[in-house]
Structure 1
Amino acid sequence: MWKHSIKAGAGLLAVLGLMGQPAVSAEWPAKPITLVAPFTPGGTTDLMARAIAQQLQNELGQTVVVENKPGAGGTVGAAYVARSAPDGYTLLLANVGHAAAAALYKTLTYDFQTDLDSITSVAYVPNVLIVNKSLPVNTVAELVEYIRQRPGEVNYGSAGIGSTQHLSGELLKSSAKLDAEHVPYKGASPMMSDLIGGRLAFALDSAGSAAAQIAGGNVKALGVTTLKRASAFPDLPTLDEAGVPGYSMTTWYSLAAPKGLPPEVETKIYQAVVKAMKNPAMQKTLEGMAAEPGGTPPDEFKKFVVDESRRWVDLVSSSAIAKN
């Protein structure tokens, strides 16, 4: 009698335990999916979100709606996704800034690594070191020397505190032992306007947004931030090649979900992204953004995110750029 009661109780607990888990149908997705873009409409992150959403919709046979939730360097949108059910119906288009957010924002209500599951990469975009066209430098080495001769006097711009341009600039200062002043803007467009106008000396902007200004001769491009030369700028050296040994910065975009995403759903999303990368329309979109395609296997990408987070925490701590 006692043994039967124990077995019955154990069975009931098992059922209750299953009831406590989110119900994920084998037919996932059975309803529309929301992809949160944590920045304003029209920017690179938003455009990337809409491009991959369309491809996911094609591959999964279900509507994928992009919802913009901007604020605090992308952390408002990330926090929203972290609080959502881990059923695969709410996803985040994350980027490199989310890996640095823990060091930049001390009052975050979520942890990028423990509250979200990184699934796979969507794209990798190099930044380009660009200078005002009137600046008397034409190489990375000349810019480094120019700044060293004017400690604390040379300004560089970014799209804001914690933006990829800001992280790139601080990494350059740290790697080359430079003393340059950071000027944050509310977006890449006003920053570019001031660079062209001569109120800034240099910037490290996304290849996609800088390409038109480079092609138009409005700014001079000196190098790319990735360890390998960028296919969009094959003649530009990497900063590593050009005299800043070991310099490496890539603006990456990825898909993330609330922690606890069922493995079978993660696999379906990953496989859909891999197929999307082979779609001519997606390839054309990425080419227009000077981006390399993603589709990194989940296990490999999770390790990459851990390494990236550690790297940016170390940089932010050493450069004293953390926010409250």
Structure 2
Amino acid sequence: MRRRQFLLAAAAGLAVPGLVRAANVAGPVRIVVGFAPGGGTDVLARVIGQKLGVMWNTSVVVENKPGATGAIAAAYVAKQPPDGSTLLMAHVNSHAIAPALLDVKYDPRADFTPISMVGVTPNMLTCRPEQKVRTISDIVALCRKNPGKISFGSSGIGSAQHLALELFRMQAKIDVVHVPYKGSGPLVADLLGGQIDYAFDTMTAATPFIQQGKVIAIAQTRLKRAASHPGVPTLAESGFPGLDAASWYGLVGPKGMPPALAQRMNEDVNRVLVMPDVAERLKSFGAEDSGGSNQQFAAYITAESTKWAKVIKDAGVKAES
């Protein structure tokens, strides 16, 4: 219901005369991404950035600063001038998980200006086509027969994908090898190359490879199935009740941005999100629950920070695990 109400409101906003757009940003705009090119965060940043560049009549470029599951990029953006020229494609990793797991150099709530939610996606458990063990029950059995030998990749230590693996591992009571990468791009490359057995990846990054038949989708990690992948079961319905490890993406700027500028940017991002080609692209990647106000996004970040801090504490997850 919230999403439907937002879409109607955003569509109505298109007809408001004289609504000022954020065309007065000084110079080119950078959207900083905390992961390598080709990953889910990178893809969404480029989709949104291209449209904003046209709307704002200026250059909007994506700049990748991978490392520490997005924390390096977040720390960098937190120190930039609050003039709207540098934005961050914030992520569940950088703004909810890393602060509870790593010694980050920023406060995810105090050091940023929330602009807009871009989307929430499941993560996916995947394998290459040559892998014969493809069902959850068979994977659990394989891991139990080979303790400490079956490898699972993720997009980094402390990432949502890593925590999805940890929750799966603990509930299944299995001993596996975690192989962290600096983003989905190198993760998928090694999965396809046979360097790892399985991967927990973002649905955004995995979807093109699934569509091409290069990667097999085994399970997804939200409590509900994504509309774009209705045939892929959730882990929650596959013997792991309550397992919910979604990824989310949203634009933020440094703290201290003028409220009017943040509001105008929010309105323009919302316009982009309801463009038919963008909405279809987001849907194909499983990105749902997009848009909303600056305040709604700020409240969501706070709720996610609380949730993941509790999960990390209860599960005993360590940065070096």
Same fold by TM-score greater than 0.5: yes
Q: Is the 8 A contact 1:29 1:89 kept in 2?
A: no
Give the gaps of 5 or more residues in structure 1: 1-25
Whether 1:140 aligns to 2:143 is no
1:103 aligns with 2:100: yes
Which structure 2 residues correspond to residues 1-324 of structure 1 after superposition, within 5 A? Answer: 28-30=22-24, 31-32=26-27, 33-98=29-94, 99-106=96-103, 108-133=104-129, 137-196=133-192, 198-292=194-288, 294-317=290-313, 318-322=315-319
Distance 2:236 2:35 in 1: 31
Give the Å deviation of 1:208. 3.1
SS state at 2:63 partner? strand
CA-atom RMSD, angstroms? Answer: 2.9
Q: Is the 8 A contact 1:227 1:248 kept in 2?
A: yes
CA distance in 1, matches of 2:38, 2:121: 17
The amino acid of 1:260's aligned partner reads: G
Q: Deviations over 1:97-146 (max 9, x none)?
A: 1021213322x221112211222211222221123545554432333344
Residues 105 and 323 of structure 1 are in contact (CA less than 8 Å); yes or no, is this contact kept in structure 2? no
- Offset at residue 260 of structure 1 (A): 2.8
> Could you list the runs of 4 or more consecutive aligned residues of structure 1 that deviate by over 6 angstroms after TM superposition?
none
- On the 8 A contact 2:37/2:185 being kept in 1, the answer is no
The runs of 5 or more residues in structure 2 that have no matched partner are: 1-19
1:218/1:50 CA distance change after superposition, 3 Å: closer
Q: 1:157 to 1:39 in 2, by over 3 A?
A: closer
- Quick check: 2:74–2:90 contact (8 Å CA) kept in 1? yes
Amino acid at match of 1:273: V
* Counterpart residue type for residue 118 of structure 1: P
| Identical counterparts, % of pairs | 39
Q: Secondary structure at the match of 1:272?
A: helix
Partners of 2:320 and 2:255 lie apart in 1 by: 26
Aligned length: 298
Structure 2 CA distance for partners of 1:211 and 1:258, relative to 1, 3 Å? closer
Provide TM-score, normalisation by structure 2. 0.80
Alpha-carbon contact 1:103-1:322 (below 8 Å) kept:
no
Cα distance between partner residues in 1 of 2:242 and 2:162: 18
Structure 1 stretch displaced more, 294-303 or 128-137 = 128-137
Q: Does structure 2 retain, via aligned residues, the 8 Å contact 1:286–1:293?
A: no
What is the SS of the residue equivalent to 1:246?
coil
Aligned residues of 2:115 and 2:253 also touching (Cα < 8 A): yes
